[in-house]
Chain A
Amino acid sequence: MENSIFSGNLVAFLILFGATCALVGMFLALSAWLGPKRMTPIKGEPFECGVISKTDARSPYPVKFYLVAVLFIVFDIEVAFLYPWAVSFGSIGVAGFIAAMIFLAILGVGLYYEVSKRVLEWK
């Protein structure tokens, strides 16, 4: 393959990005232009089983969701560390294997701790 800028990935990525934006934008625009606009105050009310809501919608909700998000961040970063290890596994030998096993063991202990603290139980 010759070394022109057009044979690389950058231009392909930019064209792909532009094409996807155009496609998504087209869908947004089609509906916004062609749909009717008949707004009434009642239609603007949030649909909550037909009852007119009195308070703001962003009321407190269970803290469990926040805990799941925190745990996700911790585990997701650790998974991200495993990717470079998996790719270079062929060249780092036994030492790399043992290091990763210690890492996985710590992950496992962390998971066990979460479970034993009943963080993930939805009751």
Chain B
Amino acid sequence: MWLDLGLIVGKIAVVFIGIIAGAFVLTWAERKQSALMSDRIGANRAAILGIKLMGIVNSVADALKMIFKEDFLPPKGLRFLHAAAPVFAMFPVFMTFAVLPFGPTITVGGKVIPLQILQLDVGMLYLLAFGSIAVYGVLLAGWASNNKYTLIGGMRATAQMISYELILGLSLIGPILVYGSLDPGVMATAQNGYLWGWIPKWGIIVQPIAFLLFLPAAMAETKRCPFDLPEGESEIIGFATEYSGMRWGMFFLGEFAEIVVLAAVLATVFLGSYQVPFLFDAGEKLGMAGFHFPWGAYLPIAEWAVVALRILSFGVKVLILMWLQMQIRWTYPRFRYDQLMRVSWREMMPIALANIAVTALIVMLVA
């Protein structure tokens, strides 16, 4: 009993530290990468005893600044809702990661340990359900601030987020049809299959259109890159105008944490989760753990190394997807609002519906 409890707490600690570390590094990477892309130097001033760590210390300075700033509550606004809004923005992000496996199921001394906090049959539904709570944060922040600009900004952000949430939900139905399960753990296992014996059956290969729909929809959910109208850094006044200190920081910590979580969802559903192509463990290949290449070559690897490689592969995929989101964010200009709504409802929606129909047809014909 205590062992089980310890394992749960341990897994939660690993996931939380991973998300917070990822979000922390992203606040630094965002500045450094944008500086690199626009030929500037970027964050390089903050230092602890002369140590700068290429500007990472700036992120520490930011966090301290936010904690010690005045926590402003608008006296004419709805104070309780104003205080609650950042909670709704940050809370769901840390809940959603729980259904994603960050490594294979391992066996230690006869005890089977899945590297996944919650093994839910309705994993993807849980993910979408908690993910949609984040809309309330933006809506309440805009409503409770007692400010005309935040009200309109909040409404704009809400309309954007719910429009793209539909695309998010619709684009996931294709992969669910292919894998036949809502559990990300099952999806991860299924992606070690191979088409005609040599193409890895990753989501991006069997469902390329779903991937191309999911990536922009996910980025619109995080309110970033071409879809950053809700914040509109300096030009448009957004929902967070009346926020200061750490409660403002919670919106943006939530946003950076959401980038990490969405990168993990993308990696799980579309990029083979923790799978490495042609790498099998002992259970899958009659006790012969290692690389089994389609041309017949076999490279034996110890069982623990297989596990290590898989956890490493998940981490690398998440990092690459985070980098990709940064790169897109600093490459493309912002959409206009009517364009934004048109892309979601009139262009992505019919494609998503057609993708479901075609996928169902193919799955039925193959089976």
Contact = CB atoms under 8 A, between A and B. Distances in A.
Instruction: Tell whether A pairs with B.
Output: yes
A100 B360 CA distance: 9
B145 interface: yes
A34 B166 CA distance: 41
Contacts of B346: 115, 120
A49 B148 CA distance: 11
Contacts of A76: 162, 165-166, 169
Interface string B341-363: 11001100110010011001101
Given A6-B4, A69-B159, 11 more contacts: A44-B75, A46-B77, A49-B237, A58-B143, A58-B151, A72-B163, A72-B165, A79-B169, A93-B364, A100-B360, A108-B350
B16 interface: yes
A36 B70 contact: yes
A6 B9 CA distance: 11
User: Could you say which of B68, B119, B360, B364 has the most chain A C-beta atoms within 10 Å of its C-beta?
Assistant: B360
B147 A48 contact: yes
Interface in B236-256: 237, 241-242, 245-247, 249-250, 253
What class of interface size applies to chain B in its complex with A?
35 or more
Nearest 5 pairs between A and B by C-beta? A31-B246, A122-B338, A6-B4, A46-B147, A44-B75
B28 interface: no
A66 B350 CA distance: 22
Contacts of B367: 90
B6 to A, nearest CB: 10
B159 A24 contact: no
Interface string A38-76: 110001101111000100111101001100110110011
B90 interface: yes
Interface in A1-29: 1, 4, 6-7, 9, 11-13, 15-17, 19-21, 23-24, 27-28
Contacts of B156: 65
B338 A121 contact: yes
Contacts of A121: 338, 342
Interface stretch (B54-62, B173-181, B306-314, B324-332): B173-181
A58 B152 CA distance: 9
Contact of A90 (B98, B150, B180, B342): B180
B118 A120 contact: no
What class of interface size applies to chain A in its complex with B?
35 or more
9 contacts: A13-B118, A23-B16, A31-B247, A35-B71, A37-B70, A47-B149, A49-B149, A58-B151, A83-B182
B74 interface: yes
B12 interface: yes
B291 interface: no
Contacts of A86: 173, 176-177
Contacts of A68: 159, 162-163, 341
Contacts, number: 202
A122 B181 CA distance: 38
B95 interface: yes
Interface in A85-123: 86-87, 89-90, 93-94, 97, 100-101, 104, 107-108, 111, 114-115, 120-123
Nearest to A46: B147
B357 to A, nearest CB: 6
A83 B118 CA distance: 20
Contact of B72 (A7, A20, A43, A101): A43
A94 B275 CA distance: 33
Given A16-B95, A31-B71, A57-B146, A6 B8 contact: yes
A30 B176 contact: no
Contacts of B353: 104, 107-108, 111
Given A11-B5, A28-B86, A104-B356, A120 B74 contact: no
Interface in B1-17: 1, 4-5, 8-9, 12, 16
A61 B173 contact: no
Contacts of A122: 337-338, 341
Contacts of B5: 6, 11, 15
B71 A47 contact: no
A46 B180 contact: no
Contact of A120 (B120, B176, B177, B341): B341
Contacts of A11: 5, 8
